[in-house]
Structure 1
Amino acid sequence: MKKQWAIKIMFLSFFLFVTACGDTAEQMDQNDEQKEIATEEETETKAADAIKDDTGSVPLHLKIAENPAFPVGSKVKIFANHMEGMKGAEGVVVAVYDTTAYSISYRPTTGGEEVKNYKWVIHEELEGASGAPMEPGRELVIKANHVEGMEGAKATVESADEGPVYIIDFTTTTGEKVENYKWLVEEELASVEE
């Protein structure tokens, strides 16, 4: 009789041990999954928070580019002429996102002449944007404040460029340091040989 009780107690103890281990493994899997999601959100938030300057921050929930031609940290030469001293300057890639960039025309909210073919604002910086890319001629409101008088202005899409967009730190050819310049597309960049 004592033997039967001892076997029952051992069996019950084993059963409780296995059940507890199973719950712990399942809880560990759930905890790992929750940590992974939190880490991804934290990485996106840190990337956006790290890229704040006088022109605002990066829109939240942008998808970080997986295989850009110029990964973060790459040294690049700039062929775009968005501002004085940009063309021919060298810089470093700070961030790369997958989205659609638009060339737009708009009349500044501060008055003055229409700005034609401003490059670039991204999909997430246009109020009322749906689908990507949007067709030329589409009118939307700008949420970005890259330059004075831009935010809140009505814009007309001129062209779209699907693919990675880059944020670059660079020094202009006239010696001015520019941090977190938004946005450049791949066709405007080339690798710098070291």
Structure 2
Amino acid sequence: MKNKLIFSVALFAAISLAACSNDTKEEQVHTAHNSEESTDHSAHSTMNHSGSGEIPEGLETAENPTYPIGSEAVMTTDHMEGMSGAVATVVGVFETTVYAVSYTPVGGGDPVTNHKWVIHEEIEGAGEEAFEPGTEVVLDADHMEGMEGATATIDTAEKTEVYMVDYTSTTGEKVTNHKWVTKEELSAE
């Protein structure tokens, strides 16, 4: 109980400080990450939950997606606090290879491990072939501060449908154009 109180106070303070900054509401970020798969639970504290909706060049729209654009699905993943159990509206669906990656942010900071997800089209110099786990790459994604231009190691690679979604988190944050959720992380309502 004491840990929950301390966590709640810290979360409130971080959100309050973010609200006082010069960042736009779209750029405000959470200070917690609940994924048990990551060894760095604060890794997503600088993640942009909402995005511009811009699609990387060469990304192909999925032809017969499991969840078509405009449909709703429940998120079953916890990349960030408030994601698991939230109802998402699909705003984009693509066929690509998704990667979990580990890297040290450009400009310094704690290493980020098992970040989900970076797509094939967000890696510098990506050709037709998918990268194998263990491959070193340079990221061309800006999901988190210090990500763009960082050298990363591919942890996992999977060809799948990837979704850009709008949702309201279970903690009340409205998120638009969130990149990325895989079809395996969505469930029919």
TM-score norm. by structure 1 comes to 0.69
Could you say which residue in structure 1 is the equivalent of 2:132? 135
The runs of 4+ residues in structure 1 deviating greater than 6 Å are: none
Could you say which residue in structure 2 is the equivalent of 1:17? none
Matched-pair contact (CA < 8 Å) for 1:74–1:191:
no
Query: How much does 1:56 deviate?
Result: 6.9
**2:174 equivalent to 1:177:** yes
**2:73 equivalent to 1:76:** yes
Matched-pair contact (CA < 8 Å) for 1:98–1:165:
yes
- The alignment-based identity, stated in percent, is 51
SS at match of 1:111: coil
Matched-pair contact (CA < 8 Å) for 2:71–2:89:
yes
Matched-pair contact (CA < 8 Å) for 1:55–1:146:
no
Could you say which residue in structure 2 is the equivalent of 1:8? none
Inter-CA distance 68–91: structure 2 relative to 1 (3 Å threshold): same
| 1:2-21 equivalence runs, <5 A | none
Inter-CA distance 162–126: structure 2 relative to 1 (3 Å threshold): same
Matched-pair contact (CA < 8 Å) for 2:95–2:161:
yes
Task: Tell me the matched-pair count.
Answer: 140
The unaligned stretches of length 5 or more in structure 1 are: 1-52
Could you say which residue in structure 2 is the equivalent of 1:101? 98
Distance 2:161 2:184 in 1: 10
RMSD between aligned alpha carbons?
A: 1.4
Matched-pair contact (CA < 8 Å) for 2:165–2:177:
yes
Distance 2:51 2:71 in 1: 24
Distance 1:62 1:173 in 2: 30
Distance 2:103 2:112 in 1: 5
Could you say which residue in structure 2 is the equivalent of 1:118? 115
Correspondence for 1:90 among 73, 84, 87: 87
The unaligned stretches of length 5 or more in structure 2 are: 1-49
TM-score norm. by structure 2 comes to 0.71
Could you say which residue in structure 2 is the equivalent of 1:159? 156
Matched-pair contact (CA < 8 Å) for 1:56–1:146:
no
Query: How much does 1:164 deviate?
Result: 1.0
Query: How much does 1:152 deviate?
Result: 0.5
Inter-CA distance 110–54: structure 2 relative to 1 (3 Å threshold): farther
Q: Deviations over 1:123-161 (max 9, x none)?
A: 010013234332110001000101111000001000012
| 1:47-58 equivalence runs, <5 A | 54=51, 57-58=54-55
Q: Deviations over 1:78-98 (max 9, x none)?
A: 011111111111110000011
Matched-pair contact (CA < 8 Å) for 2:62–2:161:
yes
Could you say which residue in structure 2 is the equivalent of 1:28? none
**2:144 equivalent to 1:147:** yes
State the one-letter code of the partner of 1:177: K
